[in-house]
Structure 1
Amino acid sequence: MRAVIATVADPEQPLAALTVGEAPEPATPDGWVTVEVRAASLNHHDIWSLRGVGLPADRLPMILGCDAAGVDPDGNEVVIYPVVEDKGDPRGYSLLSERHPGTLAERVAVPRENLIPKPAGVSFLEAACLPTAWLTAFHMLTTRGRVDEGSAVLVQGAGGGVATAAVALALAMGKRVYATSRDPAKRERIAALGATAVAPGARLPERVDVVIESVGAPTFDHSMKCAAPGARIVVCGATGGHQATIDLRRLFAMRLELLGSTMGSRRELAALLDLCVAKDLRPIIDSTYGFTAVADAFAHLASGDIFGKVAVDFLH
């Protein structure tokens, strides 16, 4: 079967470690099933895997990909929840493509309990964009950020998958949303979604109740200064640098909560799908590539010049 494979780790030139070719059919342990993949989407997790982060040499070659939607052995249209229990991992879980082959293949084996029915009104491409970036944003806003207790949200570095999802989701939840981007064109697209777009570091007209932080060091001081008393600053990444300086006086004086966050639960993914249907909300797709052009899809993701998700259509 066709698959996208990390053959080696290359920290300096990760795309050089990418191979598109044939792979063995997936094995199906007890309780697992094989899904025919119809669409998938890329994440920066895939680029980090090619760099060798979280994917040691003894697990190579490895089929990449966390996100997909497809058809199960009974003909049901499903979305794949990519988290697998893993007692050998300090987190207690691993993602598809870390220990078990990933979703960027014509067929992928997953635990049957990881399958969620795909709503009829959500396309395979749309559904394939939800399980990692959109689920992460949903978990950050609802479970960690308790956004229902607040009215205003700041999203740092909108443009990438998680941040753009957070903007769209917070707006759908009826919140006032501010979002930063260094790119004027991306700020225009943020504004078109209904959020207030601001340049990094700009003063906001109000303090916010929840900050969605995935940039890290370059924006963290701004996140702290924009937070209202008792606000939650929820961190899922540090794409701009992980060594942030924190003013502890502001932390305790404003009673701020700093919360780490990764992924979300299967139940939350089902709730996210329900929200998308109820609010007629669909993931923002930057671009779609056929499987034969998947190397170009990776190059586009690695460029950073994206707004939303990069999707792969297995039917073209």
Structure 2
Amino acid sequence: MPTMRAAFASRIDDADPLAALTVGEQPEPTHWADDWVTVRVLASSLNHHDLWSLRGVGLPADRLPMILGCDAVGVDPDGNEVVVYPLIADPGDPRGISILSEHAPGTLAERVAVPRSNLLPLPAGLSATDAACLPTAWLTAWRMLTTKGRVDEADAVLVQGAGGGVATAAVVLAVAMGKRVYATSRDAGKRDRIAALGATALEPGARLPERVDVVIETVGAATFDHSLKSAAPLARIVVSGATAGFEPKVNLRRIFAMQLEILGTSMGTPDDLAQVLAFCAERGVRPVVDSVYPFSRVADAFARLHSGQVFGKVVVDHTS
């Protein structure tokens, strides 16, 4: 059976996820249906989803080994450079969809198989390493701001826990949209970098100069009370993660008295991704890249993500 190099979960290890990562040979990708094609991967980027998979969250042992990775830019069978949309129709999942690396092998390999409809043209002016940052974190941030947060109706935005992929993307996008952006981080160095992106950087829980119309919440219990207190009347608090606790105490009186909306979201549609790609290409917006690793050092890329020191996206260059 033909093989290819890949980074995959070979076992589950909640205590030490990096120990569950293996880099080696895996079978060539197979097609689930006639409309699937194989893409040669040029670049991919890591997400916390990959670390959660190594811990066994959403990836049971009976699916191992599983090639990791959700995001990719590559070359389709016709020689076109394309961005891979990472959600696929999946009748075997109760949601009816799954993300690459949950049931179908992911993008951290020489090649990945997806439906042809999941391929979007790589816009001129966007590099493969930049565009590889967009399909998960930036797509999520875009949908949080636009579809869910209705940011076009807003003047000011608060982003909790900037530094991670989604939150940092939300800062860059909201600034590019001309909004007043406030962003929190526990790390003084990250606050300096947030300020350099055009936001007002604050310590967690700090009083804002004004109440905001949209709150981007990926942290959870540790920041949720601050999100509520920082919200203006009729504001939207959009939640896509809970890295610091998923059961916050919620002041219901504040919610109904201020007529606040709490909205959940995850990822986005292919059309959302097309909008992100066009926005970045046309406005000259580029993702914040923490670091780029050659595929030969993909284990180091995982270690960097696991360190908690990341600011922006960790990218893997499959061409080196």
Q: TM-score range by the shorter chain?
A: over 0.9
Q: CA offset at residue 52 of structure 1?
A: 0.4
Which residue of structure 2 lines up, in the alignment, with residue 30 of structure 1? 34
Q: Distance in 2 between matches of 1:86 and 1:251?
A: 36
Cα distance in 1 between the residues matched to 2:55 and 2:123: 35
The yes-or-no answer on 1:140 pairing with 2:140 is no
1:277 Cα shift? 1.1
Distance 1:222 1:91 in 2: 32
Q: How does 1:228-239 map to 2 (within 5 A)?
A: 228-239=232-243
Determine the structure 1 residue equivalent to 2:16.
Answer: 13
What's the counterpart of residue 69 of structure 1? 73
Amino acid at match of 1:160: G
User: Counterpart in 1 of 2:214?
Assistant: 210
Shift in Å, 1:89: 2.2
Aligned partner letter, 2:18:
L
Match of residue 240 from structure 1: 244
CA distance in 2, matches of 1:74, 1:162: 32
Q: Distance in 2 between matches of 1:278 and 1:123?
A: 14
Taking structure 2 as the reference length, the TM-score comes to 0.98
Residue in 2 aligned with 1:114? 118
The aligned runs of 1:152-231 (5 Å cut-off) are: 152-231=156-235
Q: Could you tell me how far apart the structure 1 residues matched to 2:227 and 2:90 are?
A: 34
AA aligned to 2:292 is: T
Deviations 1:91-145 (A, max 9, x none): 2210000000000000000000000000120000001000000000000000011
* Counterparts of 1:249 and 1:100, CA distance in 2: 44
1:291 aligns with one of 289, 295, 300: 295
Q: Distance in 2 between matches of 1:19 and 1:225?
A: 45
Instruction: Show the counterpart of 2:89.
Output: 85
Q: Which one-letter code corresponds to 1:270 in the other structure? A: A
Rounded to whole Å, the distance in 2 between the matches of 1:9 and 1:213 is 29
Corresponding position: 1:48 with 2:52: yes
Distance of 2:98 and 2:27 partners within structure 1: 21
For the aligned residues, what is the CA RMSD?
0.6
Question: Per the alignment, in what secondary structure is the counterpart of residue 23 of structure 1?
Answer: strand
The alpha-carbon deviation at position 58 of structure 1 amounts to 1.2
Deviations 1:167-202 (A, max 9, x none): 000011111000000000000000001100000000
How far, CA to CA, are the matches of 1:152 and 1:239 in structure 2? 24
Question: Which position in structure 1 is the counterpart of 2:263?
Answer: 259
1:273 paired residue number: 277
Aligned to 2:310: 306
Mapped to 2, the partners of 1:215 and 1:256 lie a distance apart of 19
Compute the displacement of 1:63 (Å): 0.3
Q: Distance in 2 between the 1:170 and 1:38 partners? A: 29
Alpha-carbon distance in structure 2 between the residues aligned to 1:33 and 1:137: 28
Give the Cα–Cα distance (whole angstroms) in 2 for the partners of residues 65 and 243 of structure 1: 28
1:148-176 deviation digits (Å, cap 9, x = unpaired): 11110000000000000000000111110
2-structure distance, mates of 1:24, 1:85: 22
| Partner SS for 2:23 | strand
Q: TM-score, normalised by structure 1?
A: 0.99
1:59 aligns with 2:63: yes
Following the alignment from structure 1 to structure 2, what is the Cα–Cα distance between the partners of residues 46 and 211? 26
